[in-house]
Amino acid sequence: MKVFITGGCGFVGEHTAAALLEAGHQVFLYDSLFNSCPETLEALRRITGERLPFEQGDIRNGERLLQTLKAFGPDVVFHFAAFKSISESFQKPLDYYDVNVSGTLTLLKAMRACGLKRLVFSSTVGVYPENAPSPCPETVAAAAPHPYGETKVMIERLLSRLGDSDPDLSSVILRFCNPAGAHPSGLLGEKARQPQGNLFPRIWQAARGELPQVEIFGGDYPTPDGTAVRDYLHIMDLAEGCVKAAEYSLGHQGTEIFNLGSGAGASVLSVLRACERAAGRCIPFRIARRRPGDRPEFIAATGKAESILGWKARRGLDEICQDAWRYESHRN
Ligand SMILES: NC(=O)c1ccc[n+]([C@@H]2O[C@H](COP(=O)([O-])OP(=O)(O)OC[C@H]3O[C@@H](n4cnc5c(N)ncnc54)[C@H](O)[C@@H]3O)[C@@H](O)[C@H]2O)c1
């Protein structure tokens, strides 16, 4: 399979590229490097022994996308390029709709002009409403409580409408839970330039002494230790799920949605303790007030991905933390 990846140098893109190459597929990376860096290409070469074709470009640049897609001629397009911070999306909604929604429209037009019919799209479990059940199945209606999630809902709906208009199209929508961890080589990992609100980057910053402490938002939730419970997924499990989705799309027509999560919950405090075990040091933390809109627990129902894609997360929290720390403890 020939796979074209937008956002190919980002956290999800680089690990998915590694998993695709390991499964014997060909990969082309397209990225503006807005939130990533070219060192990813060298890391991928060291892991896979291959120098990957890469084009630095914006997904809103239709002409460049068109020429690059035409030249590579992929079987499947993975669309990962996006802005992804919930808090930032409240401050910069225009940028989020522009990159996420307009960027996707430009990509879809370029795909149509090249006759490309298969897309794997990275959505998020952030599209589920605040009162969604946990575990949450794909059948729960999307109603994102923030602009970032709304951009994903808009694209999901657009893909569904497109599928109705052209029976040959295949769109596989993957709603990711919280990916964490790193490639076991220690060469790839999360190195975002954008401001980070996510838990793991803050924990590692505190572990390296770059943050005085980790703020844990809410210690009085109705959960076993009072901190919020989330579904964390090893980034290599997620990457392998993306490979399965692409293989599935080859024989699929229409629009299909899958949650990709571990199907298990971990509290924020248990994550911090697992990080301490992996790093072999205490990580200071402070319980702060709950953040508005945060729910006590969210776990994804993953039965659909298991039964249709034949995919299930295999790695646990300790492996996530050990692999992430191997990367974090050596990065500059
Ligand atoms: N990481 C998560 O926690 C998470 C969770 C759920 C869903 N997702 C989704 O998965 C996808 C990938 O996320 P990620 O964690 O790899 O993010 P990331 O920021 O690490 O990677 C995104 C990549 O897209 C690139 N990019 C951004 N704007 C671009 C543009 N206009 N043109 C071309 N490239 C552009 C960035 O440079 C970056 O390399 C995103 O669509 C995100 O919404 C991520």
pLDDT digits (tens, 9 = 90+) for 245-286: 999 999 999 999 999 999 999 999 999 999 999 999 999 999
Amino acid occupying residue 169: L
Structure tokens at 244: 């399965």
Structure tokens at 146: 């923030």
Q: Which CATH number fits the domain 2-181+232-261, given the four candidates 3.40.50.1820, 3.30.43.10, 3.40.50.720, 3.55.30.10?
A: 3.40.50.720
To test the pocket of ligand 1, the residue of 6, 34, 40, 271 to mutate (highest count of ligand atoms within 8 Å of its CB) is: 34
End-to-end CA distance of the chain: give it in Å, rounded: 35
Over pLDDT 70: what percentage of the chain? 98
Question: Are 290 and 218 within 8 A, CB to CB?
Answer: yes
Protein residue whose Cα sits closest to atom 42 of ligand 1: 84
Residue 231 Cβ inside 6 Å of ligand 1? The answer reads no
Residue 12 Cβ inside 6 Å of ligand 1? The answer reads yes
Distance 114 CA to ligand 1 centre (A): 24
How high is the pLDDT of residue 254? 96
192 confidence band (pLDDT: 50, 70, 90) = low
Whether 311 has a pLDDT exceeding 90, the answer reads yes
Residue 25 Cβ inside 6 Å of ligand 1? The answer reads no
How high is the pLDDT of residue 291? 86
How high is the pLDDT of residue 169? 96
41 confidence band (pLDDT: 50, 70, 90) = very high
To test the pocket of ligand 1, the residue of 16, 31, 95, 233 to mutate (highest count of ligand atoms within 8 Å of its CB) is: 31
Over pLDDT 90: what percentage of the chain? 92
Amino acid occupying residue 130: E
Rounded distance between C-alpha atoms, residue 268 and residue 58, angstroms: 35
Residue 295 Cβ inside 6 Å of ligand 1? The answer reads no
How high is the pLDDT of residue 332? 57
Distance 96 CA to ligand 1 centre (A): 12
Whether 47 has a pLDDT exceeding 80, the answer reads yes
Tens digit of pLDDT for each residue in 194-253? 556 789 999 999 999 999 999 999 999 999 999 999 999 999 999 999 999 999 999 999
Residue 103 Cβ inside 6 Å of ligand 1? The answer reads yes
Rounded distance between C-alpha atoms, residue 30 and residue 145, angstroms: 30
Q: Would you name the residues annotated as active-site residues?
A: 148
Place of tokens 């702060």: 288
Whether 193 has a pLDDT exceeding 80, the answer reads no
Q: ∠80-83-86 over CA atoms, to 5°?
A: 120
3 confidence band (pLDDT: 50, 70, 90) = very high
Report which of 1, 2, 4, 21 is spatially closest to residue 183, judged by C-alpha positions: 21
293 confidence band (pLDDT: 50, 70, 90) = confident
